[in-house]
Amino acid sequence: MLWDELIGQAPAKGYLRTTLTTKRLAHGYLFSGPTGVGKRSAAYAFAQAAMCHAPAEPDTPCGACKSCRWFAGRKGAQIEHPDVISLLTFSKGKGGGDSHTRTEKRVGDQDPIIKLETVQYVCEQLHRSPMAGAKRVVIVPEAQRLCRGQAEPANAFLKTLEEPPAASLIILTSSQPEGLLDTIVSRVQTVQFKRLSSTEVGAGLTRRWPGMEANDVKLAAALADGSIGRALDLVGGDLKIWRAAMITGLEKFNAQTFLQFGANLWKLAETEGTRLFEKDKDEQAEDSGGDGEDEELSAQEEEGAAKTVVGWKRHAFTRMLALCEVCFRDGLVSAASGTNATVPLLQPDRPDFARAMGVKFGAEGCEKALRALREALLAARLYVRGDIIARALAGRLRDALANG
């Protein structure tokens, strides 16, 4: 069953299925929630159900009609359905004697903004009549990018939302809905997606990698903060190596070695980023379809990597900062709980390390470190140089030492 493949999110799925059953589809929807929890998968499922030619039930596509077969052949954001408008790729047609259709990227998942020409293209396509069914559909991933930089893209899209074509279905997804214009949000139906439980994240990992060891599933789920996408990031990026490096670095961290910690942190990010870049190139060469998978199956989040070696280094760096954050959160819990040995930890297999962090930094120091790490993550997302961030972070962590 299509909806059963979407892990968790029962309220959101219930609302969408009711909308389909009652045939009260709005022209526009905003799927809002954290990164990597299934918003985009739900968007494609909703679109498939709405566009099915012969649904057995109003909320469930048949899976056999031509429209459903097009959806079944989808690879990431690339889909051959003539009535699904793709932001991520577009065909420029044949030319120069080339017998193949040339496909170019219009906007990628990690591009910081959605440009005006992309919006104009989408709006033009939406106003065309459907070619194979009753609707034309566009899915806009991380739609807050419409509102970054100049106002023209957002205003151009707003005009289409204010006077949408009768046969259109517009689905926006966003992990930062506060970045959207209020006028855009007010013209769509908001569907809220929540963080997943550790059990649900574990189920997603097991579905993707059935042979994954139970202990690895449990650890990745605990570190994922309710996001299957983040769990897959950690596992795909070699969680064991990254976590071991962070724990070893923090165990050796003191007022004399803090600069070495910062240098090693960025050096590892460079090494791992280069490795992931080469791996991604090899995978693209093997499979030319699509510009990325669904968000919960993606090894990239918006703050992660553009498909460049520099972007992959930043992607690895932000994941390592997130692992450091986990270490300090456990240290804070341990320091605040004192002798209570039953407190829940994000790394339940390392209670000794959590206690050591609590002693070394103290509760106040762990709080300072967490603030420093959040600022470092923000700086990375703003494209500040990683080596500068690592040095500054090391200094802030030194200041957070209990005896500092």
Whether 54 and 175 map to the same domain: the answer is yes
Residue 368 falls inside a structural domain:
yes
Residue 205 falls inside a structural domain:
no
Q: What is the pTM of this model?
A: 0.71
Whether 180 and 262 map to the same domain: the answer is no
Residue 216 falls inside a structural domain:
no
pLDDT in tens, 201-218: 888 888 887 878 777 787
pLDDT category at 109 given cuts 50, 70, 90 is low
**Total tally of structural domains belonging to the chain:** 2
Whether 180 and 321 map to the same domain: the answer is no
pLDDT of residue 236: 67
* Of 40, 54, 66, 59, residue with least CA distance to 2: 59
Residue 85: beta bridge partners?
Answer: 138
pLDDT in tens, 123-180: 999 999 898 888 899 999 888 888 876 688 888 899 999 998 889 999 999 988 888 8
CB 337 within 8 A of CB 142: no
CB 209 within 8 A of CB 220: no
Whether 188 and 247 map to the same domain: the answer is no
**Within 10 Å of residue 368's Cβ, how many Cβ atoms?**
19
Whether 30 and 175 map to the same domain: the answer is yes
- What stretches of 180-325 adopt beta strand conformation (E)? 189-192
Whether 262 and 142 map to the same domain: the answer is no
Domain that holds residue 269: 237-400
Q: For the chain, how far is it from start to end, CA to CA, in angstroms?
A: 57
pLDDT of residue 97: 45
Query: What Rg, from alpha-carbon coordinates, does the chain have?
Result: 23
Residue 232 falls inside a structural domain:
no
The DSSP call for residue 397 is: H
